[in-house]
Chains A and B, each alone.
Chain A
Amino acid sequence: MTKKRDFKAMLSEIGPFIGLIFVFVLFAVLTPSAFTSFYNIKTILTQSVIIGIAAYGTTFIIVSEGIDLSVGSQIALTTVIVAAVLNLPASDPGLFYPLLALAAGVLACTGVGAFNGFIITKFRIVPFIVTLGSMQIVRGVAKWIGKEQTVPTPDNWLTNLMLIDPSPSWLIFGPGVWLTLVLLIVSAVLLKYTVLGRYTFAIGSNEQTARLCGIKVDRMKIVIYALGGLLTGVAGVMQYSYLTVGDPTTAVGLELDIIAAVVIGGGSLSGGEGSVVGSIVGALIMAVLRNGSNMLGLPNYVQEIIIGSIIVGAVLIDQQKHRLRATG
Chain B
Amino acid sequence: MTYITKPKLHHPSLPKNSVGFTRRDYEGRVSTLCAGCGHDSISASIVQACYELAIEPHRVAKLSGIGCSSKAPTYFLGASHGFNTVHGRMPSVLTGAYLANRELIYLGVSGDGDSASIGLGQFAHVMRRGVNMVYIVMNNGVYGLTKGQFSATADKGSVAKKGAVNNDSGIDLASMAILMGATFVARSFSGDKHQLVPLIKAAISHPGAAILDVISPCVAFNNHKGSTRSYDYVREHNEAVNRLDFITGQAPITAEYAPGTTVEVRQPNGTTLRLAKIAPDYDPSDKAGALAYIQEKDREGEVATGLLYLDSDPHDLHGNIRTVQAPLNSLDEETLCPGSDVLDRINAALR
Whether chains A and B associate is no
Query: Which chain B residues have a beta carbon within 8 Å of chain A's beta carbons?
Result: none
